[in-house]
Amino acid sequence: MSKNTVSDRFRKVDVDEYDENKFVDEEDGGENQLGPDEAEVDSLIRQGNLMGALQAVLKNPPINTKNQNVKDRAEGLVLKVLSSFKASDIEKGVQSLDKNGVDLLMKYIYKGFERPSENSSAILLQWHEKALSAGGVGCIVRVLTARKTV
Amino acid sequence: MHFVQMKTKIALCPNNHDVHIYKKEGNGWTKTQVLKEHNGQVTGIDWAPESNRIVTCGTDRNAYVWTLKGDVWKPTLVILRINRAARCVKWSPKENKFAVGSGSRLISVCYFEQENDWWVCKHIKKPIRSTILCLDWHPNNILLAAGSCDFKCRIFSAYIKEVEEKPAPTPWGSKMPFGEVMFESTGTAGWVHGVCFSESGNRVAWASHDSTVAVAEGGKTAVITSLSSETLPLLCVTFITENSLVAAGHDCYPALFVYDGEKGTLTFGGKLDVPKQSAQKGLTARERFQNLDKKATSDTKEAVLESLHKNSISQISILQGGKAKCAKFCTTGMDGGMAIWDVKTLESAMKDLKIV
């Protein structure tokens, strides 16, 4: 059959963009969210204060920002802290967090699963197990239903 | 499966186009009538106890009001003017109006127009941005709470001047023109599956898909208290006293939640379904091997739900005592089962359960 010579660019149009009823999330002003303080977290890790580092890295989560770099940096920092924990201390680390902290930790864990590096998944799985026993399946449901996440 | 229960009668839809009416006979239920009129799955049923009328709505974008003529239920079509499926329907407390939530991102409030002898509807559209999943009326017959897929629980005014007087002020506000948003929730994410006013109407509770349950108290600024639960999302919630909620959902058991207005806290009060522990049977070597073969584990725990309901509970209805002093409530689920729970029995069966 002869080749179609008419343009088929229309096939690549995202029709959802033109839907007048398209659901747009509320803007929450995330321009000033910078993520956890890298310097503070690094110094706490160097001092060996891992509990403190955990608390620090879970501060200022870049939830509302559209800046992908900020989000990537935050994730990298969290991964650094999670990896520096000894396996036996993970449970204590999770216990030191409040409900919101556990939810936020679970968000970072699943974000970490998305881009695995050499040993990250194994460490994240250990943290996942402890966070699950603290937060229950409800915690995971909140990761899945969050419109704006880390 | 949707169902509504009157004292001795039940109307339910077994997920098809029909509504079945059952009557209680002795200890069992017998089917007395089948209402056939809908062209699509019946998604909502509500039975008005005083006027003895049933309203049904379905995916065929229609609603019917059924009145009993002798022994037969006669349907009257109500034009909802929606272009998507209807999802839920509720009679107002005075039974002179009913509201239908739909996928058309609006609520149809219907009332009967005497002169033309038909049901007319008015639409509440703004600021709803997605399907309405659940509705509940305030006792003043004017305010309507609606839970939606746009992650919000809202209270609207459904004041219809043709059928009622101007309402007195409530904690939710004093000016209530039709369609006015008296309250919009913040702080919870996820589709709002279930919504319920307390008996006084001063509080509204809702259950969201992000595994949270929340209570808002009306006032100059509404106070919202929410609880992130550790369980799977809840699908339905109801007040059983002014301070206690029963909610149930994908975990297949009803649970108690206690709201403390003074402290502003919402806490988990306990599971209401404590299954009797079945004796642990020992596994024979053959069974172990079969387990290993089938399920790749020789674990002795069977993957069987121990709760009464074997699938998600989709609806909770108060049977006796009203929302202030509920004595009995009923749960129905996706397993097609209906269970009646007695509050006094639950209180005595579970030591730490306190219903305030």
Q: pLDDT (tens digit, 0 to 9) for every residue of chain B, 356 residues total?
A: 677 777 788 888 988 999 999 998 888 889 999 999 999 999 999 999 999 999 999 999 999 999 999 999 999 999 999 999 999 999 999 999 999 999 999 999 999 998 999 999 999 998 999 999 999 999 999 999 999 999 999 999 999 999 999 999 999 999 999 999 999 999 899 999 999 999 999 999 999 999 999 999 999 899 999 999 999 999 999 999 999 999 999 999 999 999 999 999 999 998 998 766 555 556 677 877 777 787 776 665 556 778 899 999 999 999 888 899 999 999 999 998 899 999 988 888 877 777 78
- In the prediction, which pLDDT does B300 show? 56
Q: In what order do the strands lie in the sheet with B97-102?
A: B86-91, B97-102, B107-113, B118-124
DSSP state of A114: H
- In the prediction, which pLDDT does A30 show? 66
Q: Does B188 touch chain A (CB under 8 A)?
A: no
When divided into structural domains, chain A yields a total of 1
Is B227 in contact with B206 (CB distance < 8 Å)?
no
8 Å CB contact of B210 and A141: yes
Mutate to test the interface with A, among B82, B188, B208, B210 (most CBs of A within 10 A): B210
Domain that holds residue A82: 32-145
Residues of chain A with pLDDT under 50: none
Distance from CA of B230 to the nearest CA of A (A): 4
Chain A CB contacts of B129 below 8 Å: 21, 23
Give the span between the Cα atoms of B98 and B45, in whole angstroms. 11
CB atoms within 10 A of CB A51: 14
Mutate to test the interface with B, among A22, A24, A137, A149 (most CBs of B within 10 A): A137
Phi and psi torsions of B280, nearest 5°: -70, 120
- In the prediction, which pLDDT does B242 show? 94
Secondary structure (DSSP) of B57-73: EETTS-EEEEEEETTEE
User: Residue A22 domain-assigned?
Assistant: no
Is B57 in contact with B50 (CB distance < 8 Å)?
no
Q: Does A26 touch chain B (CB under 8 A)?
A: no
User: Residue A10 domain-assigned?
Assistant: no
Give the span between the Cα atoms of A62 and A107, in whole angstroms. 11
User: Residue A7 domain-assigned?
Assistant: no
User: Residue A150 domain-assigned?
Assistant: no
Q: What is the CATH number of the domain that holds A119?
A: 1.25.40.190
CB atoms within 10 A of CB B297: 11
Chain A CB contacts of B130 below 8 Å: 23
Is B224 in contact with A129 (CB distance < 8 Å)?
no
User: Residue A72 domain-assigned?
Assistant: yes
Give the span between the Cα atoms of A134 and A94, in whole angstroms. 7
User: Residue A1 domain-assigned?
Assistant: no
Q: How far is CA B20 from the centre of its chain?
A: 19
- Nearest Cα residue to B125 out of B85, B169, B81: B81
Q: Nearest Cβ partner of A138 from B129, B130, B229?
A: B229
Is B132 in contact with B107 (CB distance < 8 Å)?
yes
User: Residue A23 domain-assigned?
Assistant: no
- In the prediction, which pLDDT does B312 show? 94
Q: Does B83 touch chain A (CB under 8 A)?
A: no
- In the prediction, which pLDDT does B264 show? 92
Chain A CB contacts of B230 below 8 Å: 135-139
- In the prediction, which pLDDT does B47 show? 92
Q: Does B92 touch chain A (CB under 8 A)?
A: no
- In the prediction, which pLDDT does B61 show? 96
Element at B238 (helix H, strand E): strand B234-239
- In the prediction, which pLDDT does B99 show? 97
Which stretches does DSSP call E strand in B49-172? Answer: 53-58, 63-69, 72-78, 86-91, 97-102, 107-113, 118-124, 132-137, 143-148, 153-157
Give the span between the Cα atoms of A22 and A12, in whole angstroms. 18
8 Å CB contact of A136 and B190: no
8 Å CB contact of A146 and B130: no
CB atoms within 10 A of CB B30: 10
Distance from CA of B190 to the nearest CA of A (A): 6
- In the prediction, which pLDDT does B301 show? 58
Instruction: For B104, name the nearest residue in chain A, comparing CA atoms only.
Output: A21
Mutate to test the interface with B, among A28, A98, A102, A142 (most CBs of B within 10 A): A142
Give the span between the Cα atoms of B3 and B315, in whole angstroms. 8
User: Residue A139 domain-assigned?
Assistant: yes
Give the span between the Cα atoms of B235 and B192, in whole angstroms. 8
